Amino acid sequence: MEKRGWDQLDVLFVSGDAYVDHPAFGVPLLARLLEAEGYRVGILAQPDWKTPQAFQVMGRPRLFAAVSAGAMDSMVNHYTAAKKQRRNDAYTPGGRSGSRPNRAVIAYTSALKGAFKGLPVIIGGIEASLRRLAHYDYWSDSVRRSLLVDSKAGLLLFGMAETALLELTRRLADGEEIENIRDLRGSALLCSERPVEGVEIPSFEAVVDDTAAFNESFRLAAGESNPYNARPLLQRHGSRWLLVNPPPLPLDQSRLDRLYALPFQRRPHPDYKETIPAFEQIRHSVTSHRGCFGGCAFCAIAQHQGKFIQSRSEQSICREVQQLVSDEGFRGTVSDVGGPSANMYGMSCGNAEARRQCRRDGCLFPEPCPHLKADDSAAVHLLKRLRAIKGVRHLFIASGVRLDLLEKQPRYQRQLIADHVSGLLKVAPESLCAELTRIMRKPGPEVFETFLARFREQSQACGKRQSVVPYLIAGHPGSTLEQMVETALVLRRLGLQVEQVQEFTPTPGTLSSCLYHTGCDPFSGEPVHVPRSDRERRLQKALLLAHLPENRSAVKEALKRCGRESEEALLLGRHGTNHRPGRQRRGRSLDRGKGKA
């Protein structure tokens, strides 16, 4: 600040992540955006929330402080599905845990209010975004109030927030009081009186103990997710009303390109002496687009980024890859070009009127929407241009592909298999049981088997020894031991050994978390089996990892519970297949999202 001649900041950001000046990290991206608009911005990364002085090092900001827990919900960051404390944090130097508090948004907001009396505090990021309404919290096994109520912040911004944050900053700089800013898209606020317009959903007091009311609340809120037709949501919390404005409109290509053209240093702050694992993973990767129209039940991406795909231009992406090539640590390999699903780049709804009226959560389940333009021309041409950039020897797709969409993209599929697999292609069928994939809103097992056959055939035709590593979930609502036995037998038949199995964690705001809490589908009313006991979940996981010697006794127990002891030799015998998945990291389990910006 002294070098820049600043005596006061306009905006102070507080983040639960280490400071990495890279567009894959949300707080630095927002800070760079405000800086480009002429505002004086500072970032406090992982401050000591127990010490008020830690928040005062850059003085009181003129306009407001903005709080984010970081790239992950702090409870997901800290605890496994078994509610055991994690020993590492990929967003912290050295990968150490403990550098951010539990329920970080609440802790940071409280500390800021203590350090700067009367200062407006804005909350956002993934933790605030998915907890904007009354929600089920797995770690306390209870329904909690909106995070805006519990944190006592002045305003909550949900979604990616660039547009909302920029407008909010301008209006506060022009002298508006934060209490009077009630019409901002992508924001939530508390009102003393019921707003005139909006869809009223069951109150916090109604949903806290009534699962039917909780399901109704979830269903009504889900119907207002399309920014082109969404109405405000109203939820009473005691004597006050929570007003959740419609989601922000998607960014057009030029505005998205502008974000990625900001002067990022693309590295951690130089004060850090240890590596930051999350940065190392994305250091030589490129984000080509945001948003996802898959509509998976367990995924929160669409609730945060939206279901409409927002793609950068080829020129913007090529410029970023050229920057990577000039990086002193670059060795010729671009580790990933993609987004939530890499093969959604360049896709859109082909009917503007249908888009304005759409009420679907996604475009692929239960059947692909006829208005979806699934043309792969943009993605194929992009990868061709990137491969031609001087200095790029290898370019891989590591962010995952949607298999049922890949069926409609023959050229992209051939190019992916021929040029963009690093040896092991990770895909996420999540289950190989048709009944369970329907509950997950994922394509059925036949889609995975068809893709696997094509992958093996085309890899062989290219003269490449490549394998598929499927991600699977154990313990998801609807899953039973019988289904896991069937899935294990399918894996055996296909000659696959699973490398990583995720134990289901009910993260706030998702359909799967609603199913877990209520045991009932909020849309169909059908009851759903929920594997709640730790033992049942562990047995499901063991069946999917039956090839590991340490799981033999658990597999035998699971088979006995199902009355299928006769299948023991099939599951625990040697693999009689030539389709080996390559070198395995035995016994490791990686929760989805962990260590990934």
Determine the average pLDDT of the residues in 415-426: 93
Strand residue runs (E) in 38-120? 41-45, 64-68
Asked whether residue 256 is domain-assigned, the answer is: no
Tell whether 579 and 446 lie within a shared domain. Answer: yes
Give the per-residue pLDDT at 379: 97
- Among 146, 166, 190, where does a domain finish? 190
* Angstrom distance (rounded) from CA 361 to CA 299: 12
Contact status, residue 66 vs residue 30, Cβ threshold 8 Å: yes
Assign 292 to helix, strand or coil: coil
- Among 190, 216, 247, the domain boundary falls at 190
Answer yes or no: do 152 and 62 share one domain: yes
pTM passes above 0.95: no
Boundary-marking domain end, from 403, 422, 441: 422
Is the same domain home to 157 and 37? yes
Q: Determine the pLDDT at residue 498.
A: 87
Tens-digit pLDDT profile for residues 56-82: 999 999 999 999 999 999 999 999 999
Please check whether residues 44 and 107 belong to one and the same domain: yes
Residue 218 belongs to some domain of the structure: no
DSSP E strands in 245-371: the ranges are: 267-268, 285-287, 289-290, 310-311, 333-334, 336-338, 348-349
Residue 210 lies in a domain: no
Tens of pLDDT, residue by residue over 205-252, are: 999 999 999 999 999 999 999 999 999 999 999 999 999 999 999 999
| Same domain for 560 and 516 | yes
CATH at residue 484: 3.30.750.200
Tell me, yes or no, whether 229 lies in a domain: no
The CATH number of the domain where 81 resides is what? 3.40.50.280
Query: What tens digit of pLDDT does each residue of 478-528 get?
Result: 999 999 999 999 999 999 988 789 999 999 999 999 999 999 999 999 999
- Asked whether residue 270 is assigned to any structural domain, the reply reads no
Task: Give the per-residue pLDDT at 593.
Answer: 34
Contact yes or no for 437/470 (Cβ under 8 A) = no
Average pLDDT, the chain: 93
User: Does 296 show up as a binding residue in the annotation?
Assistant: yes
**Domain presence at residue 215:** no
Residue 585 has pLDDT above 90, yes or no: no
What is each CA distance from 348 to 20, 344, 363, 378, 585, in whole angstroms?
Answer: 31, 9, 10, 11, 38
**pLDDT per residue as tens digits for the range 513-527:** 999 999 999 999 999
Query: Apex CA 417: angle with CA 577 and CA 298, to 5°?
Result: 85
CATH of the domain at 327: 3.30.750.210
Tell me which residue range forms the domain holding 509: 426-597
**Do 522 and 536 have their domain in common?**
yes
Q: Do 493 and 393 belong to one domain? A: no
> Residue 292 annotated as binding?
yes
- 416 and 430 together in one domain: no
Asked if residue 201 belongs to a domain, the reply is no
Residue of 538, 566, 563 whose CA lies nearest to 553:
538
Q: Are residues 453 and 366 in the same domain?
A: no
Contact 325, 391 (CB under 8 A): yes
Lookup: tokens for 512:
């799967």
Count how many domains the chain has. Answer: 3
Is residue 241 a part of any domain in this protein? no
Do 380 and 297 share a structural domain? yes
Statement to judge: residues 172 and 44 lie in one domain: yes
Asked if residue 191 belongs to a known ligand binding site, the reply is: no
Residues 296 and 391 in one domain: yes
**pLDDT (tens digit per residue) in 529-549:** 999 999 999 999 999 999 999
